[in-house]
Amino acid sequence: MPRRYTPLVTGKPRVTRAVYGVFVVLVAAFVLSSTWQVARALFGTPASAAEAEASAKVGPDCAVAIAREIEAIEKARFTASMEPNGDAARERFDRERRSSTEGAPDGAPERVCAADPRGTEALAALARLERAARAHAVRDARELRPVRLAAQSFIRVQPR
């Protein structure tokens, strides 16, 4: 009798296929459930007014003061990033920030947020934003200046 190169096929592959099928179904259910939960957490809206109130981090006065400061930081960052070098950008950023805090109305964030339970946390986040914006303005001025000048070199200025 000749020798077989492959073993005889029995009913075991059917069982293996069923086990793999159950495993695939369970994994698919887990992935879909996880995706649904993450999407709901990220894009869902609070279910009630109490949840919406609980998700508010600071009071309305503190929120307005912080929003005003964020806007001033972004304006200073943009203005300073147009300077010719990093040192000039750093000085311009500091000058813009000083002028925005001097002309601010009575609601400086430090005073307004002092009584807020989450005010200290909000002020720390604001300080981190200011440091990062200052560094970003310096980096932009240093790295983008040559590229900006090269792009502007193609613009012909018409004498008036």
pLDDT at position 34 over 90? yes
Residue with token string 């006065």: 61
Cβ proximity of 81 and 136 under 8 Å? yes
CA–CA distance, 148 with 81 (Å, rounded to integer) = 11
Q: pLDDT by residue (tens digit) across 47-100? A: 566 665 666 688 888 888 899 999 999 999 999 988 888 899 999 999 998 888
Sorted by where each begins, the domain ranges of the chain are 9-44, 56-152
Three-state DSSP class for 1? coil
CA–CA distance, 143 with 3 (Å, rounded to integer) = 75
H-state helical runs in 44-59: 49-55
Confidence band for 106, pLDDT divided at 50, 70 and 90: low
**Cα torsion at 148, 153, 156, 158 (round to 10°)?**
70
**Region of poorest pLDDT, from 38-52, 101-115, 140-154:** 38-52
Cβ proximity of 96 and 76 under 8 Å? yes
